Amino acid sequence: MNKKASIAGAAVFLIIGIIILFAKPFLPALSDKGHYVISMLIITIGLWIFRPFAIPLSVSGAFFMASALVIGIPAKEVFSGFSTSAVWTLIPALFFGFALAKTGLGKRIAYFGMKITTLSYGKLLLMWALIGIALSALTPSINVRVVIITPIALNCVDILKLEKGSKERSLILLSAFAMAIIPGTGWITGSLNGPVINGLYTAVPQLGAITFNEWLKVSLLPAGLISVLTLVLGYFTIKPSKPLKLSKEIFIEEYNKLGSPSKQEKVTGLILTLSFIMFVTNSIHHVPDAATCLIALFLLTAFGIVKLGDVGSGISWDLVIFIGTAMGLSAIFTQSGVSGWLSSILLKAISPVCVSPWLFIYATLIAMFLLRFIDIASFIPTMAVLMSVIPQLSASYGINPLVWIPLFTIAINAFFLNYQNMFALVAESNFENNGWVKKHFSIYGCVYFVACMIAMLFAIPYYMAIGMF
């Protein structure tokens, strides 16, 4: 986004915020304090979406928190997002990704997958799925997975001599990208969506924290179906016209160039694997995920993988502060009266589609896909707003709050256009001008949408069978 467009976009949100602040159009249903909070939130969302003058997400979040403190909202509520276990799951989890990249373990896993693959389009696409699953089990950082996978995928298409602009090249690169972001949404530690959504739920007393097994119960089936359908439909939509002719020996050579696994790779692999086992078996030992993550970070540091200098530069603290700010929105909404006001409005808007599980799922999911054209701040503002109505919908219509989790993660991954998905922008930056064709990217984004719609045909009966409605 160019400088003028970013300033203009943020200015529109600023004007809307100022109008709400002074005109107070929602009186008497919403108090003066509530109008102020809504006004500041709209201005902040404009800053988050358009990032004028390259203002970091964290600094825009700091502006919102400062504005909340100014009108007397207690610091306990303003900074509540930083005191939940979710944010202390997030921070170590980001270092998992750092360790995976620093030691070269992530690269080794990806090249090992290429090494054992038979050279055909179908086998390559399957291998990207397996690589995505393996990396998702070791780190929730999609950004790290994309950074690891994209140069390997680019090297793959170059080795295979797939021409720039060709369907074949786009198919391989898009499939690798999709498998870096989709499969991991099936479990709570498979993407950063887990700690974020868990933090938003934890901030609402009627909802509470989400366990590993609860997330798995509602998300694994749709994530698996969407992954498979996206690969299959993507293949037939962007169908290659030329067969692959090279021997897989060339990928064996690429893997051998990495040499033997280092001690740091082995230690990192062991720590991250044990962490994943702890997550999966949480219902047996009851050790909180945050504790597992913090202990793993301690071990990574004790073994010299994460060093003192890495603490400041190894992860994006801008992202941490942004997410912590967003996790505190629910508490601020409650304190200012915004939650009650939003609940009454959203309840009326959503109620008509709550009469049927089928209507609810499809109407909500389509609405979320449309919102992703506007809410490009990782969908966090929209999720924070919806938190105010989820408990009421559960009480009035028997819709289990867990059902929202896969809907949120599906919408977050949307990528009709590259600006909607920050990880697509990361991938394109890594490709430089040697990646996929924009037309193919949008087509693949539509394939993902169709895959999600088809997956729900199987997920909805499953949700009904396990008592989600």
First to last CA, the chain: 42
Alpha carbon separation from 276 to 135, 144, 292, 337 (Å, rounded)? 11, 17, 9, 40
Residue 255: its pLDDT value, please?
Answer: 85
Distance CA 381, CA 372 (A): 11
What b/e sequence results for 276-300 when a residue is b if at least 16 CB atoms lie within 10 Å of its CB, and e otherwise?
A: bebbeebeeeeeebbebbbbbbebb
Percentage, residues of the chain above pLDDT 90: 53
pLDDT on residue 186: 96
pLDDT tens sequence across 140-187: 888 888 888 888 888 888 888 888 889 999 999 999 999 999 999 999
Output the pLDDT for position 436.
92
Instruction: State the pLDDT at residue 3.
Output: 83
Mean pLDDT, the chain, whole residue set? 90
Taking the C-alpha atoms of residue 71 and residue 91, their distance in angstroms, rounded to an integer, is 30
What average pLDDT does this structure show over 45-69?
Answer: 93
Per-residue pLDDT at 359: 96
d(CA 271, CA 92): 12
59-68, 106-115, 306-315, 456-465: which has the minimum mean pLDDT? 106-115
Please tell me the predicted confidence (pLDDT) of residue 1. 63
Q: Which residue, 151, 156, 152, 149, is CA-closest to 182?
A: 149
pTM for this predicted structure: 0.84
Q: Looking up tokens 């599906």, which residue turns up?
A: 410
- The span from the CA of 4 to the CA of 208, in Å, is 42
Q: Which of 7-21, 45-59, 416-430 has the lowest average pLDDT?
A: 416-430
Which stretch, 106-120, 324-338, 405-419, has highest mean pLDDT?
Answer: 405-419
Can you tell me whether residue 372 is helix, strand or coil?
Answer: coil
pLDDT at position 230 is 97
What was the pLDDT predicted at 110? Answer: 82
Core vs surface per residue 17-35: b (16+ CB within 10 A) or e: beebbeebeeeeebbebbb
| pLDDT reported for residue 235 | 94
Mean pLDDT to the nearest integer, 427-455 = 92
pLDDT at 151: 84
Q: Which residues are CB-contacts of 310 (< 8 A; sequence separation ≥ 6)?
A: 95, 98, 102
pLDDT in tens, 196-213: 899 899 888 889 889 999
Examine the pLDDT at 119 and tell me if it is beyond 80: no
Q: How far is CA 192 from CA 70, 91, 179, 251, 441, in A?
A: 31, 10, 15, 31, 23
pLDDT for residue 157: 86
- Whether the pLDDT of residue 111 is over 80: the answer is yes
List, for residues 211-228, the tens digit of each pLDDT value.
999 999 999 999 999 999
Tokens representing 322 are 């942004």
Distance CA 40, CA 459 (A): 38
- Judged on CB neighbours under 10 Å (0-12, 13-18, 19+), 79 is middle
For the chain, the C-alpha Rg in angstroms (whole number) is 22
Per-residue confidence (pLDDT) for residue 7, from 0 to 100: 93
Residues 442-467, mean pLDDT to the nearest whole number: 97
pLDDT at 332 over 70: yes
Q: Are 268 and 99 in contact (CB under 8 A)?
A: yes
pLDDT of residue 331: 87
Confidence grade of residue 468 (pLDDT, cut at 50, 70, 90): very high
Cα–chain center distance at 8: 27
Q: Calculate what percentage of the chain has a pLDDT beyond 70.
A: 99
Q: What's the rounded Cα separation, in Å, for the pair 384 and 443?
A: 30
Q: Is the dihedral of CA 443, 445, 450, 451 positive or negative?
A: positive
User: What is the CB neighbour count within 10 angstroms for residue 110?
Assistant: 27
Handedness of CA 274, 276, 279, 284 (dihedral sign): negative
